[in-house]
Amino acid sequence: MKYFGKIGDKIYLYSLMKSSKIMIYPSYVDSFGIVVAEVLANGLPVVVYDIPAIKHYYGDCKAVKVVRSGDKEALFEAAVELLGNYKEFKQIAIECAKKYSWNTVYAFSSKVLQR
């Protein structure tokens, strides 16, 4: 594991993400979790803290491991679990991401606006 600091080059950032096997996202505050949706769409399973928005939107996805906020040991254990079977979780991640594709979100929004 290596900390890269802030990466301004979007192409380099994307190449790092594509070469990764999981993402650890220990955020304490989030309102939807677009970061989670983006990495799932790229086939990366995610370990997250149990903040309300993340649990609400991604709690039913087996490629998103939710652990108690601040529990670094649980964060580590969940990461090891995902890495141990990352090919399976990669496929699950891609399936979960389909729930939040632009087409799906647009179709849902259109229905709501027509009411």
Q: Is residue 2 part of a domain?
A: no
Of residues 56 and 108, more confidently modeled:
56
Mean pLDDT, the chain, rounded, equals 88
Q: Is residue 1 part of a domain?
A: no
Query: Where does the pLDDT of residue 102 fall: very low under 50, low under 70, confident under 90, or very high at 90 and above?
Result: confident
21's CB contacts (< 8 A; 6+ apart) are 44, 82, 83, 86, 90
Q: Is residue 27 part of a domain?
A: yes
Q: Is residue 59 part of a domain?
A: yes
**3-state DSSP call for residue 85?**
coil
Mean pLDDT of 24-50: 91
Round to the nearest angstrom and report the end-to-end CA distance of the chain.
49
CATH classification at residue 42: 3.40.50.2000
User: Model's pTM, two decimal places?
Assistant: 0.81
Q: Is residue 76 part of a domain?
A: yes
Domain count for the chain: 1
Mean pLDDT of 63-81: 96
Q: Is residue 5 part of a domain?
A: no
Q: Is residue 68 part of a domain?
A: yes
Q: Is residue 102 part of a domain?
A: yes
Query: Where does the pLDDT of residue 3 fall: very low under 50, low under 70, confident under 90, or very high at 90 and above?
Result: confident
Q: What is the domain range of residue 33?
A: 10-114
